[in-house]
Structure 1
Amino acid sequence: MTTGTERTTDTTGRWASSLDSVVVYARGALCRRLARGVVPPDGRVRVTGLPRTLDHGSLRARVLGSPGPRVTEARVEIGAEPRATVPDGRDALRREVERLRDGAEAARARRDRQRALVAEIGALRPVAPPRRRDEPQHRRTPVDAWLELADFVDGRLTGLHARLTALDEELLRAEHALELAADQLDRASTDAPSRHVDTTVHALLTVAGAGAEPVEIEVEYGVPGAVWVPAYRLSHRQGEDTGRLVLRASVAQRTGEDWTGVRVALATADLSRRTDPPKLRSIRIGRRQEAPAASGWREPPTGLDDLFTGYDAAGPRPGAGTFAGAFGPAGSAVPVAVGGPPAPLSPPPTGLPVPGGPGSAPEAFDGQGYGGQGYGGQGYGADAFAAERHAPAPARTRSRSAAPGGAAFGAAPAAFAAPPPAPSAPGAPAPGAAPPVPPPVPGPPRPDAAALDYPALVLRGPDEPGHHRGRLFPGTPSDAVAAEYRRRAEAVAALPLPAHAVLPRESAGSFDQRFDAAARADVPSDGTWHTVTVMELAVGLRTEHLAVPSVEPVVYATLVLSNASDRALLAGPVEVTVDGEFLRTSALPTLAPGGTSRLGLGPAEGVRVSRNAHLRESTSGLRNQTAVLDHRVRVELSNGLARPVTVEVRERVPVSSDPDVRIEEHTDWSAPGDDGPERHAPGTRLWRVELPAGGTTALDGRYEIRIPAGKALVGGNRRS
């Protein structure tokens, strides 16, 4: 497979392709490949290099540049062949993991045997000799024998424990080496084949109107196994109102192909979401109705059974068995002779219709085969398909003719078959009797969405039962290998996110955004996060200092960031660099164009704050029935920096839900607005002051709490 912008010309109908661009969505990616060459006289071109995980239904192709040639058909073709040599890389890592796993298991077995030996020696206990019948009491055991046994057990256990410690360390090293090798294998690129078989995926195209000049074809397809999250890098210099905000995305993919030197774009949309709007059809009353839209179906041709006369006359196939299972009526298993002339099907159980006969029930589709492939590798358009499955039952038995290329359709699916009446309904047939033939449905056939999905129709072979052979039925490829590839690819969705990272669909909300990287990038298919620099976004910055002296006597430096670009900024981590030095990593919320947010930079050592509070209690009103709590707050600020600073001081005023309790303010502070980037607690008050270099200032605040004599404060700190 070629990479980057390199293109290979092949005049034999097999063109090598190069991956040119990738659009990574919230989950999944849309890849675009380019191939160039001279179209063969038959117009059939195989574009190679496609990954094993591609979605067959997403394949698109078109001719670039030239207005004359066009692609009239595109489908996926899969091939496999054994490899002559086993390449290094992932296979070498797999063999190393297997070797280390065997070594770890052997070390664990040695350790377990040593533990068993330690337990066996530790279980040795002295046993007193049994007393004889003529002895009045137990015989005495020499103490030396007990001591010798204890010395033996102690010495033996000392050597065994030393050996056990060495085996434990050996097992620990073996498991550590196995863990490292397994992690390296898990992070290795999946672009190389994982087995001793080379699986090739081609785009089989039919190009019409091409001449002798080379043409360039673009092939587009979707793949699972790709995710991304936004990240930012903010550079700022103190004293300036501007900065550089660089969008750097973290991309992880395991699509089965390395993205080397490709143009990368990032989108917040869902790749699998439908984009076509719904259609509301009108309801008409009267005899004159709108003509139904043409579905592309037609009556089947005649002579279909004659296609397999020579095949049936050839006799049994070599190595064929006597019987093979097939699907009979309603999906029941029916023995069918294989390798000779087709034996007549055994009559179905009583009450079931004969396949292909009048009133026959639909047969179960086994879903095997490759979608969209015609007989002999030929494809068919919408006008080439027959409507036998939706025709009335008598017409189905009479219309058995040959189609161009040997294709026709089978019986109707279950969605269009008339069910037999219930046994309890009036006029129902007696138990064991065949159901009556349903009347034919007037008008043209009404195929469902599955029957109109032409690429998913599968041509059944000559070994199928008589009502299946040579006909097209809906089905999907049964490819366990491809399913395993897709399962491993979709595992990247479970990767742990970086710190402060948010998935794009969660942060984007109701809008979708696309970001195109300014330069080409490399993202290997290893399932780990890789950083891709996307673009630089215009932002406005201003430095402000924030103090909440009632909570902490510290002044904090902050950056107020405003989105001055025409794009939304998604939520994600932002690395803040001030004066060329990395400061910290913060969480940036989602910002629409024109939105603002505040980023903390930590304590500002050059700006100091202090707060003093004073409370005076008194009474007022007639007969002193109102208690007055007079609060006075004094905040002092000093700027020790060599430049002027803006400081926002936050204070709090009590709030009450009791209408008899009044709070009167006597100061010049202000309440925060609701249109700011932050949400403030009720009762928050703000001072904003400009401090020159080396300057000081004092802020005085005052509020009174008037409480009726019959009420009192409960809880809280009234002297704060």
Structure 2
Amino acid sequence: MTAESTRRWGSTLDAVVVYAQGAVCRRLARGSVPPDGRVRVTGLPRTLDPGSLRARVLGSSGVRVTEARVEVEAEPVGPDAPQGLRHEVERLRDAYEAAEGRRDRQLSLIREVTALHPVPPARKREDPHRRTAVDAWLELADFVDERLTGLHTRLVELEAALRTLEHELTVASDRLARASTDARSAHVETTVCAALTLDGAGVGSGDPEVTGADAGAPEVELELEYGVPGAVWVPAYRLAHRQGDGSGRLVLRASVAQRTGEDWTGVRIALATADLRRRTDLPRLRSLRIGRRQAAPAPSGWREPPAGLADLFSSYDTAGPRPAPAGPHAVAAGGSAPGSAPGSAPGSAPGFVPSPPPPPPQAYGGAPQGFGGAPAPTGPPPVGGSYAGPPAAPMAPMARMAPPAPAAPGAPGAVAPPPPAPVPGPPQPSGAELDYAALVLSGADERGGRRGRLFPDAPFDTVATEYRRRAEAVAALPLPGRAVRPRESAGSFDHRFDATARADIPSDGTWHTVTVGEIPVGLRTEYLCAPSVEQTVYATLVLSNATDQALLAGPVEVTVDDEFLLTAALPTLAPGGVRRVGLGPAEGIRVTRRTNLHESTAGLRNNTTVLDHRVHVELANRLARPVTVEVRERVPVTSDPDVRIEERADWTAPPEGTGPDRHAPGTRVWRLDLPAGATAALDGRYEIRIPTGKALVGGNRRS
């Protein structure tokens, strides 16, 4: 079954889950299953990770997917194909260069005309002095002036046209840089598709020659899931609050940027804080058995190459080399031109190079040589879980290979490193070598022990490496103001947020805002002041998260009574957590603080210095509504058991918190409800008792 005869199904992108870096896309395809069960689902992006492709049949039709692989098809773009922004940029660049050339030629003409000046003829020694031809000089000056006037007028027009083209070229280049990457190349159109094999009820029962609805093939719906790099997101919020209400509307939004190579048009968006590259497979715990009875080893899928494989091509080598192809670019085997190959056999026809006998297969001390004796790939596997190393180049003819010259004694590199020790146990082929459908049989023209053996071939990784590299550059985008990446604010938990509506996000690598949904939060307004530091009252919003979803750190636009107030930074709010968001100074509430210090002595022999501190705070509410004000003070804290601090006030110590909610030692709090237009006075007092032997002269009178 060839690729042309395989049934092709179109697909539509239905849902996308954006992780901290990368995304998982879900496509849907529908069609009638052909008799052979082989279909190709088109529309996949070029940055697709081939190791992440998953396919399944939706519904209970009895059809299942038995094989899924990624294939790439490329074909040249026809001359009638529509041109996009790239063609427009190239056209404007050519026009700009042509206009710049015209401007430069005009400048050269101006320089030539400016250089015109009268040159008197050379006078001999015996010739008398001649009178200057003033009329000729004036006529030349008039000519130069008239000519320069016309040239400068033309120069102004050329410079204006050049500036216009420069502006258009700048705009077009910026549009091309910001344009979606979901576009084909300038000369080659690359199509990525999923080759699926279906099996089940109704598959393979019809006539292969019958097509269309008469075949009676079942119609199924497929779901394809795959991962792509080049997608990031950060949370953002919009908070709407009305004064006096105990609740508010917190709208979760997200800034999403993606350069995956396909536009997300009308898709369901979900946002996750998890790391897509983190491994989630469980470790395999191998058991240790003591005794003669041991578990049978799992089959490795590898077997020794058949005996006599080198003799299989002896007749092919005896028949002589293959004729060189005709044409201006024809090159004979070994890289020599036809008819001029060195070392040609006597009596051979021009254009033929005798092929040397194949080298004997090398043995590596019983080490695994891959499937069918192929050398196992070295190095870590690439991203995607499959080996995608470049195919080995054919070995040069043995007649041209000179043995290496022996190194001089004492010279660097004279001692060759010992060969690596063989790996004990049975061969362990890689996952790419066990993918039998992707193995390619090397032909008779291969050299270096590759003839007649199977090797993995991964052309997709070679094609898509550059696309994936460009897509991953989106992770370096500068973040919006006050934005925090999800992995930094999520901490030790992972969460997922599903958007309520479908969204459109082009593949242009810039930030796009998506509304995820509304989160109900408890909200109350409180006013906070620390008059010992600054006699200003600040307004704050106390948010309480009563849902089972965590709120990540990010910027929040605060709107009070339908008027935009400011953009603040929302801290991470776990389920059930309570945090404050500052709104700035409250001009309608005034605070005044006065202190008084009285020093005296106490004790039987006046051996104790008593420092009596008194604090007086006055509050005035000039707003038209009642408010709740929290006033914070601090009392001294000592670690000396002989120094005592006695408090004589009605303030309270705040509960101990952690992180941003942690208070400084010695913090005391007054909380009071202040009606509209009312005033209140708060009095606090504490005494510091210091033994006379530990008192500082003139150093204890500190407020």
Q: Same fold judged by TM-score > 0.5? A: yes
- In the other structure, the counterpart of 1:283 is 288
- In the other structure, the counterpart of 1:98 is 90
1-structure distance, mates of 2:437, 2:667: 65
Asked if 1:463 is matched to 2:470, the reply is no
Q: 1:193-204 counterparts in 2 under 5 A?
A: 193-204=184-195
2-structure distance, mates of 1:293, 1:67: 35
- In the other structure, the counterpart of 1:344 is 356
CA deviation map 1:27-54 (0-9, x unaligned) = 1111111111111112110111111111
2:189 partner amino acid: D
Q: What is the SS of the residue equivalent to 2:628?
A: strand
Distance change (3 Å), C-alpha of 1:643 and 1:454: farther
1-structure distance, mates of 2:157, 2:665: 66
1:269 to 266, 269, 274: 274
Distance change (3 Å), C-alpha of 1:702 and 1:506: same
- TM-score w.r.t. length of structure 2: 0.75
Q: 1:478-497 counterparts in 2 under 5 A?
A: 481-497=463-479
Q: What is the SS of the residue equivalent to 1:230?
A: strand
1-structure distance, mates of 2:50, 2:698: 71
1-structure distance, mates of 2:644, 2:422: 85
Residue identity (%): 69
Q: Does structure 1 retain, via aligned residues, the 8 Å contact 2:72–2:192?
A: yes
- In the other structure, the counterpart of 2:218 is 213
- Per-residue deviation at 1:537? 1.7
Distance change (3 Å), C-alpha of 1:446 and 1:56: closer
Q: Does structure 1 retain, via aligned residues, the 8 Å contact 2:6–2:40?
A: no
2:271 partner amino acid: L
Q: Does structure 2 retain, via aligned residues, the 8 Å contact 1:390–1:445?
A: no
Asked if 1:44 is matched to 2:54, the reply is no
2-structure distance, mates of 1:95, 1:482: 23
- In the other structure, the counterpart of 1:447 is 429
1:43 partner amino acid: G
- In the other structure, the counterpart of 2:678 is 695
2:278 partner amino acid: R
Q: Does structure 2 retain, via aligned residues, the 8 Å contact 1:390–1:447?
A: no
- In the other structure, the counterpart of 1:633 is 615
Asked if 1:190 is matched to 2:202, the reply is no
Distance change (3 Å), C-alpha of 1:77 and 1:599: same
1-structure distance, mates of 2:502, 2:554: 23
Q: What is the SS of the residue equivalent to 2:539?
A: strand
1-structure distance, mates of 2:109, 2:367: 69
Q: Does structure 1 retain, via aligned residues, the 8 Å contact 2:374–2:453?
A: no
Q: What is the SS of the residue equivalent to 1:554?
A: strand
- Per-residue deviation at 1:324? 3.9
1:683 to 658, 663, 666: 666
CA deviation map 1:472-496 (0-9, x unaligned) = 2345437665222222211211111
- In the other structure, the counterpart of 2:636 is 654
Q: Does structure 1 retain, via aligned residues, the 8 Å contact 2:62–2:200?
A: yes
Q: Does structure 1 retain, via aligned residues, the 8 Å contact 2:627–2:673?
A: yes
CA deviation map 1:106-155 (0-9, x unaligned) = 78789999999999999xxxxxxxxxxxxxxxxxxxxxxxxxxxxxxxx9
1:695 partner amino acid: A
Tell which deviates more after alignment, 659-668 or 304-313. Answer: 304-313
Q: What is the SS of the residue equivalent to 1:486?
A: helix
- In the other structure, the counterpart of 2:244 is 239
- In the other structure, the counterpart of 1:578 is 560
2-structure distance, mates of 1:550, 1:595: 29
In structure 2, runs of 5+ residues without a counterpart are 115-144, 203-216, 336-343, 377-391, 393-413
1-structure distance, mates of 2:8, 2:315: 36
Asked if 1:180 is matched to 2:171, the reply is yes
1:318 to 302, 325, 329: 325
- In the other structure, the counterpart of 1:15 is 9
- Per-residue deviation at 1:16? 0.8
- In the other structure, the counterpart of 2:133 is none
Q: What is the SS of the residue equivalent to 1:538?
A: strand
Distance change (3 Å), C-alpha of 1:631 and 1:178: farther
- Per-residue deviation at 1:524? 0.9
- In the other structure, the counterpart of 2:595 is 613
2-structure distance, mates of 1:15, 1:457: 26
- Per-residue deviation at 1:317? 5.4
1-structure distance, mates of 2:282, 2:325: 55
**Cα RMSD for the two superposed structures:** 5.1
Q: Does structure 2 retain, via aligned residues, the 8 Å contact 1:614–1:719?
A: no
Q: Does structure 2 retain, via aligned residues, the 8 Å contact 1:11–1:37?
A: no
In structure 1, runs of 5+ residues without a counterpart are 1-9, 123-154, 326-334, 347-353, 365-384, 392-409, 411-430
Q: What is the SS of the residue equivalent to 1:542?
A: strand
1:219 partner amino acid: L
Asked if 1:565 is matched to 2:541, the reply is no
Q: Does structure 1 retain, via aligned residues, the 8 Å contact 2:61–2:201?
A: no
CA deviation map 1:431-456 (0-9, x unaligned) = 999x99x9999975443556446577
2:275 partner amino acid: D
- In the other structure, the counterpart of 1:503 is 485
Q: What is the SS of the residue equivalent to 1:492?
A: helix
- TM-score w.r.t. length of structure 1: 0.73
CA deviation map 1:288-323 (0-9, x unaligned) = 333212223345567867699789789335245223
Tell which deviates more after alignment, 442-451 or 689-698. Answer: 442-451
